[in-house]
């Protein structure tokens, strides 16, 4: 450790002495970035040989709620799967390089595969043509685990079950390009009922051998299994090949309340924590997709920015954010309970709720410096009547604009609108 400290001090001296405030040269910039990497990387990751090769430095930039992203409504030597943290853990990359530096400021909507492949697509395209909205997040692998388009790719067919929700994906991509729509492919990762049923060994089993499912019948697959990682990355690679500019991973976590279920279930695992396993998957996926020129984004619970790491489901806001180009916290006002951000009923005060959520998000992410991703939250364009009388309000133009105003005042100019039925407020000022 003394040697490491000495090396850091020497490097700091070199960086400080050789830099010119007016115009630092490439070598000086690289030195600063290496120093930043060494100072921010956890000690556990600074293993012998970690910098045996020169690092590459990049430059540039009353009922149930409708389903929403992430909610209910590196090779491993472990034969049972596992993660690749030794190669892809926190601190593996010194500076993020945006593979889409010319991407627009995204203002997008969620589009189901049914809508994308059906008659509703024309009205959604008109919405984008007529407003400042410019992007669609389209299901490539949906909440049930179905691949949403026909494919003959053997890497997808090994574990996936293609459907014809979008019968002609190349034609759809051509249409999106014609309308100047920035296409984002959504892939639901570890919530995968189809794969859990077809391959129980990749899921969580009860003592009797049956596959566990949550109270709504949703199956999950085991995030410790590298086969699951590689399958989802294969889907992402196919989406990139089809023309999606960004891959958005959703349900990048263990099931809710998993810490209370794990001991009663049978599944393969390593000695690594759930938090590190999830972060390692994200890093592993990023490393494999970046050469394809696509961005990688992750949906994450909005409250993850306001609390310490969610050990049960394995989500650490900062660790995940370090390895993505875009982080999309789901900050729907309806998903915060009474009293959050000193608001009695958050759904009734969308402006204050979004302001509070963004304050916590910046507090979490500002300290990570060059690792900080684009912040592009999911916001609410639906009415949460299931909250009950007095706890919700109808959402429309004023409520949507209040959320957007709160984002802008917080220094965030990208966002995604969620409505499970894909019916959006057309007259809002986006």
CA distance linking residue 103 with residue 249, whole number of Å: 18
Neighbours of 198 (CB within 10 A): 16
Name the residue ranges covered by the structural domains of the chain: 1-40, 74-418
Instruction: Note the helical H segments in 110-221.
Output: 113-116, 121-130, 154-157, 169-178, 193-198
Encode pLDDT of 195-239 as tens digits: 999 999 999 999 999 999 999 999 999 999 999 999 999 999 999
Give CA separation, 254 vs 178, 238, 315, in Å: 39, 25, 8
Neighbours of 78 (CB within 10 A): 16
What the block records as the tokens of 224 is 């410790």
Report the SS3 class of residue 203: strand
Domain 74-418 has CATH 3.20.20.80: yes
CA distance linking residue 429 with residue 295, whole number of Å: 27
Burial class from Cβ neighbours inside 10 Å (0-12, 13-18, 19+) for residue 93 reads: buried
Encode pLDDT of 107-148 as tens digits: 999 999 999 999 999 999 999 999 999 999 999 999 999 999
- For range 87-116, the mean pLDDT: 80
- Rounded to whole angstroms, the maximal C-alpha distance in the chain is 69
Per-residue pLDDT, 95: 67
Contact partners, residue 44, CB within 8 Å, separation at least 6: none
Report the SS3 class of residue 247: strand
pLDDT for 75 beyond 80: no
CA distance linking residue 252 with residue 280, whole number of Å: 11
Tell me which of 77 and 129 has the higher pLDDT.
129
Contact partners, residue 101, CB within 8 Å, separation at least 6: 60, 61
CA distance linking residue 351 with residue 105, whole number of Å: 21
Encode pLDDT of 356-383 as tens digits: 999 999 999 999 999 999 999 999 999 9
pLDDT for 50 beyond 90: no
């Amino acid at each position: 450790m003394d040697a490491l400290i000495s090396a850091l001090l020497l490097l700091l001296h070199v960086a400080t002495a050789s830099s010119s405030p007016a115009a630092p040269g490439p070598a000086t910039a690289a030195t600063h970035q290496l120093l930043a990497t060494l100072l921010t990387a956890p000690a556990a990751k600074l293993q012998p040989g970690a910098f045996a090769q020169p690092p590459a430095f990049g430059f540039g930039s009353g009922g149930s709620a409708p389903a929403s992203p992430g909610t209910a409504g590196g090779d491993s030597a472990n034969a049972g799967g596992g993660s690749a943290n030794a190669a892809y853990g926190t601190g593996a990359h010194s500076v993020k390089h945006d593979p889409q530096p010319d991407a627009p400021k995204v203002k997008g909507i969620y589009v189901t595969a049914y809508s994308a492949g059906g008659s509703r697509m024309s009205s959604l395209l008109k919405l984008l043509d007529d407003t400042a909205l410019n992007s669609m997040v389209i299901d490539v692998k949906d909440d049930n685990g179905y691949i949403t388009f026909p494919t003959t790719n053997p890497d997808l067919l090994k574990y996936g079950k293609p459907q014809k929700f979008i019968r002609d994906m190349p034609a759809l991509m051509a249409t999106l390009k014609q309308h100047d729509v920035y296409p984002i492919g959504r892939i639901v990762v570890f919530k995968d009922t189809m794969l859990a049923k077809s391959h129980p060994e990749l899921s969580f089993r009860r003592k009797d051998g049956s596959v566990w499912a949550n109270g709504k019948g949703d199956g999950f697959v085991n995030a410790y299994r590298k086969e699951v990682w590689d399958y989802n990355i294969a889907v992402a690679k196919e989406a990139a090949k089809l023309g999606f500019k960004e891959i958005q991973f959703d349900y990048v976590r263990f099931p809710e309340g998993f810490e209370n279920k794990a001991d009663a279930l049978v599944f393969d695992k390593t000695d690594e924590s759930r938090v590190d396993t999830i972060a390692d998957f994200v890093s592993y996926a990023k490393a494999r997709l970046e050469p394809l020129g696509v961005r990688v984004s992750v949906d994450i619970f909005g409250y993850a920015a306001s609390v310490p790491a969610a050990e049960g489901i394995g989500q650490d806001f900062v660790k995940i954010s370090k390895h993505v180009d875009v982080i999309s916290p789901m900050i729907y006002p309806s998903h915060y309970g009474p009293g959050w951000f000193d608001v009695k009923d958050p759904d009734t005060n969308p402006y204050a709720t979004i302001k509070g959520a963004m304050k916590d998000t910046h507090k979490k992410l500002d300290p990570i410096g060059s690792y900080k991703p684009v912040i592009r939250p999911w916001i609410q364009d639906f009415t949460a009547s299931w909250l009950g009388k007095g706890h919700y309000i109808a959402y429309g133009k004023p409520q949507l604009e209040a959320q957007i105003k709160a984002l802008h005042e917080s220094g965030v100019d990208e966002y995604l609108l969620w409505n499970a039925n894909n019916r959006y407020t057309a007259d809002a000022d986006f």
